[in-house]
Every structure is written in structure tokens, then in C-alpha cells.
Amino acid sequence: MIPYFPSIYPDETLYSVIYRFHVHTGSITWDQTFIQLYGYSQSVTTCSINFPYRISDLVARFPQNWGISEDYILEKCTLLPFYLPFMTVENKKEIKRLMCGSTNHFIVAKFGFASNDDTKIYYCPKCVEEDLVTYHETYLRRFHQVPGVLVCTQHEILLESYQKKLKITFIPSVQNREKVNLTITNEEKQTLLDLAKDIERLQTLDSYSFVLESIYEKYDKLLRDKGYIDKNGIVNVRQISIDFNQFYGSILQVLNLPVKLVKKNWLHNLIKSVGLNHFPIRHVLLMRFLCGSVEEFFQELLSHEKEEEMTGEEAPFGDGPWYCLNPVASHYKQRVIHSLSVRHYSDRGVVVGTFDCRECGYVYTRSYTNSENASDEYKKNTVKHFGPIWEKRLLEMLNENYKIVQITRELDVSYSGIRRIIKRLSKDSNSLRTYDREKTYYKERILRDRQIVEDLIQKEKLGFITFSQVKTHTAQRWLKVHDFDWWSQRFPYKAKKNSEKSKREIEERDNYFLNRITHLIENWGKDGLRPIRISRKNISQELGVRATTYEKLPNTNKFIKANLEKNRDYKFRLVDWICEDLRKDSERVFTAQDVYRKIPIKVPEKWLRQYVEEKIKTLYPGDYFHY
Ligand SMILES: [Zn+2]
Ligand SMILES: [Zn+2]
């Protein structure tokens, strides 16, 4: 069981929650963080922002009363809801299954959602500033990571971005800003904002039960009406491409989605391949081109669904948006909730609605029986989630020694409700450290920190960390103050010198690293990403361990030496990969020059030139059709 997990902020990615967990718990290595969260270690390089996987393993380690399920994570903390409306029923099932249970990270490639953008992290500087005031920390919003979203819809300013580093990735800070290299006109910004708002709308669509085929039926009808598809069903790619370019102008370049005048551009692929997966932004662009907006496009499809859903007594809660009843939120008793799910208990004649506020995370239920009159607009039954804003206010009030009766009144919660929440929050020692002086808390913390220190000592003995890392760890210092008896028994302990280490210990470490490195090299380059050379530096980086901890071990060292990659071999491997990558961009034939530019190299040596030219010849034996 995980004793602590940060409260999930509105629209936060799982990636970001894990990052904050790493920071809050003061983990020294990512290994340690992943072991705490998943029960085993995994490489941080494979932690995807857009489509995380192994969600089941994580959820299984949460206490049940937290109410965090796999579906909750999929729906609230991943980009999936933006993609779902455009997937077939089978693909929807499959991608959910893989994200929950898969042990590899090929999900993105498998569903055709590979993009260079997954290496970038987007954020809005204004949102960050506000976060720091509200939460004293900031986080990554998933909406800002959706490909095609370049503007914050709340603040209407351009998003900024930075490169996702392989090993350590930072949450944005206002001090550490990077320059925006996007310079665009006001008109372009307005278009980007409209597009972003359309994309934002997508996440609510999957709760309606239309299927992908109905979207394509509508495309077909509209394209025929406008004369882009003739009576034989043939698409006039050239005409629609020209009109499309004229309609959007330079914005397609800004989005990096130019429609070239060739036979098979992305627009053609989107229109023709129903079963394949396409980025949501592409659908949005086509919908706006055909109908003006996403809203407009879905109007018929949705109004049809709505009629079935909301008729007579089936819709006792009226039309949305509905009231948010979070007394702490600035929008208290305002109609800001767009998400309502209704359940019928026909045997009891009761209808229960669950109202989910996406702005503050407050989720409450409200029941309705036939006999009752719905005069009290602000009635609620239970609160399922209080959300971060509410919880923060509770902590403040506890810190400032408010009386319980004041708290129950201001926060609109029962006495037993507060007790339940405090019990849950007290597992989060970070937020309660300042006021919770109860014995139970100390007991728990002492046990936990003793365990941490024992682990640290163990790791130090194995050479994973240095003695000074043990000495400066907060757990060790805290115990010195609060648990002096135990501490003085365990400390002062001295770090063993290398020479004192027994032969057996060295053998064990040698075997351990030999195993890990063998495994690493066997799987080297199988991730499909741009190849990196098998070098000492890269091995140490992949392991996340300093080279000094294993380079003196005889067998390990011999193995590494035998497996280092020569420059020439590496270049061949790289060229293979680059060619494969360029070929996917089927819109034009690429040249040797394109390959050199990607390596990058200015004047290639003869052996490399020969290899590249041979390679291209085998890829394009015949002529290639061009407009
Ligand atoms: Zn913003
Ligand atoms: Zn709210």
C-alpha cells in the first residue's frame, strides 16, 4: 500500500502527479520513486506524458477508500478522452486495456499517435503564476499537452514549451522561463484560440454514445454536398487541398500540418481511412472547414442523443450547466458544472445525479424522487470528492486553530465527515506536519523513517549512494531529533571503506550489475526511438547509476568492453533508423542530403556515403508517382 499520494489537481496529468510525488517524498532516485509507487523499478525514459501505461499496478497499491480507480485515472489524468471520440469501438477497448495492463510503451506507436511533440512539455505562464498562489506549487495540465493546442483558453495567451529531458524533467517555474520562438499575428492567435476551444470540447464527447462511423458518414455527406467527392466516390484531393490551404492560410504551417499538393497528403488519409487513428486536431480542422466549428458539426449527432437522454421525468435536474456547491470556490452557487451523470433506481423510484465540477474538483450527488418537489436548488446528498481547493482551505483552518464548529459551518461538511478526511490526510505527512502533533502521527512517522534509514544504509553498503547522502537525508535528521534512542543505536555508523569490503560482496555486486547490463544491452534500441550509441556514458545514463559504482567490477567491465559500439556500426544503425523514419513521411521521396542533415553531418566520409546511397536505392527501386 502507498501511504501517501498527492491530491490530484484539476486536469493534471498522471506524469505530473508522479513528479510531485517524487519531490514531496524527497526520493533520491527515480528508481526509489517507482518502487514506492509500482512495487518495482522502471525506466523514467519510458514514462509517457500522453499515454501512461501500467495503470493497474499503480491503482492496485492505493487504499480502496481513496476511491481512485483505473477509469478515474484514464478519464481525468491522461489525454485519452480527447482521442476516444475518433476511435473505433475495438480500438477504444484495446487502448484502455494496454494503458492499464501493458508492460511496454509501444502504445503510442501501435495506435499511430507517435509525434515529436511527446518530447515537449507545454505550459501557460499565467496558469503557473496562479498555481503558485493557490497551491504553492505548479503542475502540468493535460489539455495543454494535446497536440494542436497552442493557446491557453483561460488566459488566451500562447503556451510556452520546453524539451522533455530524458532523465530529469522539470515542472515549469516562472523564474526559469524559456523563450517562445513562435511569432504569430493577432489573427493567427485568434484562430489558434478557436481551435483550442474546439479541442477542449472533445473531452466531453465520449460520454455520448455515437460511433466513429457516424462521424465518417457525416464527412461523406458534407464532402459530396460540396462537390469534393464525385458520384463514383472518388475524392478530388487536389481541389480540396487547394481550398483547405486557402481557408486556413499560414495557420497550417504554425501547426506543422501543411497540406501539400501530392496524391496522398494527410487530409486524403484522414478522409479515406475510417478505421485508422488520427490526431484529434486533424479532425477538428476538417470539421471547421466543413461546418464552421466542432459544435456545429456535432449538433445533429448530439441533439439526437440528448432527446433520448432527457425526456420528461428522466431529466429531473433540468438543463445544464448546473450549480457548483463548493463553498470555498469563487464560483460557489454558480452554474459552472457541465458534467452530469444520471442513474436510475427504478425499484425505489429514485434518480441520482452525480455533478462533477471540472474547475475545482468538487463532486457531489443529488437524488430525486417522484413525490418530491424540486424547489431547493442547492440541495445535495453526499460529496464524493472535495477537491484540492477545498482541502487546502481545511488545512488552513486546522492550522489556524479554528473551532470544529466553525469549520463545519464554513466548509459545509458534517463533523464525522471532517474526521474521515483528517484521517485520510494525516497519511500525507507533508501537509499535516505543522499542526498534527498527535501521537499516532509520530508513531507512524517514526516507523516509516526508520525503514527509510535502514534502506539507505543498505544502499550505501551496496554502493548505490554515498555516505553523505545518508547523513544529509531528512529522515535521518528527523529521527535524530524525535527518536534519539533508536538513532544513537544505529548511529554513528561508519561507511565501510572499499578495501574492507569482502570478496563475496564484490562478487555479488559484479553479478548484479552484469545481469542488469546484459539485460540492458540485449534490449538496446528496441524501443523504436532514435538510436543512441552503446557507449560507457550512455550505459551509465540508462542505468541511472554512476559509472564509478561498477567500472571496477571485473566481469561487468569485461562485458561492457566487449559490447561497446564502434562509430561506424552506430552510424549504420542510425542511418537505417533515419531512412525508416523519413519513409513514413510518404509525401515525397527523400535524398541522401536529407539523411545527412538528420545525422547531422556536413561532409560525410566515403564509407558512409556509399552506405546511404545503397540504402536509398533498395528503398526506392522504381519510380515514384508525383503530381
Ligand atoms: Zn493559462
Ligand atoms: Zn466548482
Residues bordering ligand 1, an ion, CB closer than 5 Å: 124, 126-127, 152, 154-155
What pLDDT score does 338 carry? 80
* pLDDT on residue 397: 85
Strands (E) across 324-436 are located at 335-337, 339-345, 350-356, 363-369, 383-385
Distance 134 CA to ligand 1 centre (A): 14
More confident residue, 182 or 7: 7
Mean pLDDT for the stretch of residues 210-216: 81
Rounded to the nearest whole angstrom, what is the distance from the C-alpha of residue 123 to the centroid of ligand 1?
A: 8
Using the mean position of ligand 1's atoms as its centre, give its distance from the Cα of residue 2 in Å.
32
Q: How many alpha carbons fall within 13 Å on the CB side of residue 361? A: 17
Q: Which ligand is nearest to the CA of 339?
A: 2
Q: Residue 10: nearest ligand to its CA?
A: 2
Q: Which of 88-102, 301-315, 371-385, 608-622 has the highest mean pLDDT?
A: 88-102
**Model confidence at 193, in pLDDT bands (50, 70, 90)?**
very high
Q: Lowest-pLDDT range, 290-304, 429-443, 532-546?
A: 429-443
Ligand closest to CA 390: 2
pLDDT tens by residue, 449-460: 888 888 888 887
Residue 500 has pLDDT above 60, yes or no: no
More confident residue, 429 or 335: 335
ipTM: 0.60
Task: Report the alpha-carbon distance of residue 595 to residue 613 in Å, rounded.
Answer: 10
What the block records as the C-alpha cell of 535 is 557507449
Q: Which amino acid is at 224?
A: R
Distant-in-sequence contacts of 36-42, Cβ < 8 A, 24+ apart: 36/2, 37/2, 37/61
Nearest ligand, measured from the Cα of 130: 1
Residue 495 has pLDDT above 50, yes or no: no
Q: Which ligand is nearest to the CA of 325?
A: 2
Q: Is the pLDDT of residue 436 over 60?
A: no
- The arithmetic mean of pLDDT across residues 112-138, rounded, is 80
Per-residue cell: 247: 481557408
Q: How far is the CA of 80 from the centre of ligand 1 (A)?
A: 21
Which H helix or E strand runs over 120? strand 120-123
Q: How far is the CA of 322 from the centre of ligand 2 (A)?
A: 10
Nearest ligand (C-alpha, residue 330): 2
Residue 373's pLDDT is 57
* Ligand closest to the CA atom of residue 338: 2
Which has the higher per-residue pLDDT, 191 or 545?
191
Give 365 Cα–ligand 2 centroid separation in angstroms.
13
pLDDT at 349 over 70: no
Ligand number nearest CA of 153 is 1
Average pLDDT over residues 139-166: 87
d(CA 592, CA 585): 15
pLDDT beyond 90 at 152: yes
Identify the three-state secondary structure at position 256.
Answer: coil
Q: At what angle do helices 567-584 and 606-619 cross, to 10 degrees?
A: 30
User: 354 has which bridge partners?
Assistant: 341, 365
Gap between the Cα atoms of 369 and 352, Å rounded: 9
Helix (H, G, I), strand (E, B) or coil at 351: strand
Q: Reply yes or no on whether the pLDDT at 372 is more than 70.
A: no
Specify the pLDDT at position 309: 44
* Ligand 2 centre distance from Cα of residue 327 (Å): 9
| Å from CA of 337 to ligand 2 middle | 7
Residue 181: pLDDT band with limits 50, 70, 90 = low
Q: Is the pLDDT of residue 429 over 60?
A: no
Ligand 2 centroid – CA 359 distance (Å): 5
pLDDT of residue 549: 77
CA distance 32 to 26: 10
What average pLDDT does the segment 145-171 reach?
80
Print burial letters for 478-510: b (CB count within 10 Å at least 16), e (below 16). Answer: bbeeebeeebeeeeeeeeeeeeeeeeeeeeebb
Q: Has residue 411 got a pLDDT over 50? A: yes
How many whole angstroms from 386 Cα to the centroid of ligand 2? Answer: 9
Query: Under DSSP, is residue 158 helix (H, G, I), strand (E, B) or coil?
Result: strand
Residue 605 DSSP class: -
In this predicted structure, what is the pLDDT of residue 65? 72
* pLDDT cut 70: percent of the chain above it: 82
- Residues flanking ion ligand 2, Cβ below 5 Å: 324, 326, 329, 357, 359-360, 362
The C-alpha cell that represents 473 in the structure block: 537525508
Residue 393, CA distances (Å) to 164, 385, 497, 543 in order:
33, 14, 51, 42
Residue 365 alpha carbon to ligand 1 centre in Å: 29
From ligand 1's centre to the CA of 611, what distance in Å?
49
307 burial (CB, 10 Å; 0-12 / 13-18 / 19+) is exposed
The vertex-571 CA angle with 569 and 572, nearest 5°, equals 65
**Any idea of the CA torsion for 474, 167, 50, 339, to the nearest 10 degrees?**
20
Q: Which of 347-351, 579-583, 600-604, 619-623 has the lowest mean pLDDT?
A: 619-623
* DSSP secondary structure code for residue 258 in this structure: -
> Would you say residue 266 has pLDDT above 80?
yes
Map residue 29 onto helix, strand or coil.
Answer: coil
322, β-bridge pairs = 337
* Average pLDDT value for residue range 103-116: 68
Between the CA of 338 and the centroid of ligand 1 the distance, in Å, is 20
Q: What confidence score (pLDDT) does residue 180 get?
A: 58
pLDDT attached to residue 313: 40
Question: What stretch of H or E contains 161?
Answer: strand 160-163
CA of 427 to the centre of ligand 2 (A): 25
CA of 201 to the centre of ligand 2 (A): 18
Query: Over pLDDT 90: what percentage of the chain?
Result: 10
Give the pLDDT score at 299. 76
DSSP 151: B
Residues in the chain: 627
